[in-house]
Amino acid sequence: MGFLQDKRILVTGVASHRSIAWGCAAAMRREGAEIALTYQNDKLKGRVEELADQLDSDIVLPLDVSTDWQIAHLFGTLAEHWDGLDAIVHSIAYAPKQELAGDYGEVLTRDGFTAAHEISSYSFGAMAKASKPLMAGRNGALLTMTFIGSVRAVPNYNVMGLAKASLEANVRYLAASLGPEGTRVNAISSGPIHTLAASGISHFRSMLKQVERHTPMRRAVTAEEVGNAAAFLCSDLASGITGDVLYVDTGFHILGMG
Ligand code: 0WE
């Protein structure tokens, strides 16, 4: 029996079989969870439905986090399928592409800042709030994905770094808020992974190569490895862990000069 047997878990952010969210959903299914997936737009719908099929799931719902009514609608529809929800994986981020290349002080705009924070951080709190009726009182878990650019100045990561810092603060405030309900809230800080989202980023490949050369384990982390840690954090095995950021990055964050 898997360690997520009989858990119902909503996974957002699946765009392809390389997605971190897919690594999470697959690991969670392997451990016995029932999975529901969301897709961001009609272009991704068919692909996500095929992936859901591989998880024996037919709960595939639209979610674009840029409006509150879509978030409300998601949990309304989910409640027609499930009478409760045990965990949510939030694997959603966005900044305008032109703000993820070049010098921070040159490429920053008000609109880019707003979009990055709204889509990448606010959406996590909004989902936590909207899911409360389904999640309260069942030892639930919320999980989001962050990156070391939240706490270090990573070249080109720019305004996404600010948004991830906000997201990590969101994890702590939500953990304090929802702890009394029995809901735990955590983040995984993943090392860089070559996903569909990453392929839209200039210099990503050279940065990945550099991490592979220097990180203690001399290789990039995989979506499967992030998925295994995600499955653990959403399970009762992690019942004493909340408000925290777990680095799943083949050790990169422990390095100093060298
Ligand atoms: O958080 C991220 C990137 C998320 C992301 C990706 C895109 C691509 C397409 C956010 N917004 C957009 N906007 C788009 O238009 N990562 C942790 C991956 C990443 O992105 C970087 C990285 C790493 C690592 C950008 C610059 C430098 C390093």
Q: Kindly state the helix (H) or strand (E) to which residue 175 belongs, with its residue range.
A: helix 159-178
pLDDT single digits (tens) 203-248: 899 999 999 999 999 999 999 999 999 999 999 999 999 999 999 9
Q: What are the tokens at 15?
A: 């765009």
Active site amino acids: 157, 164
CB of 207 within 6 A of ligand 1: the answer is yes
Which pLDDT score, from 0 to 100, does residue 225 have? 98
Q: Residue 258: pLDDT above 80? A: no
- Ligand 1: centre distance to CA 1 (Å): 37
Between strands 34-39 and 60-62, the pairing is: parallel
The two tokens of residue 226 are 């992030």
Q: Ligand 1 center to residue 97 CA distance, Å?
A: 8
Task: Give CA–CA dist 177/192, Å, rounded.
Answer: 30
Q: How far is the CA of 199 from the centre of ligand 1 (A)?
A: 9
- H helix or E strand, kind and range, residue 133: helix 123-135
DSSP state of 232: H
- For residues 162 and 110, what is the distance between their CA atoms, to the nearest angstrom? 13
**pLDDT number for residue 203:** 87
Pocket lining: 48 vs ligand 1, CB cutoff 6 Å? no
Q: Is 160 in the pocket of ligand 1 (CB under 6 A)?
A: yes
pTM of the full predicted structure?
0.98
* Burial of 64: CB neighbours in 10 Å, binned 0-12, 13-18, 19+: middle
| Residues 133-182: tens digit of each pLDDT | 999 889 999 999 999 999 999 999 999 999 999 999 999 999 999 999 99
92 CB within 6 A, ligand 1? no
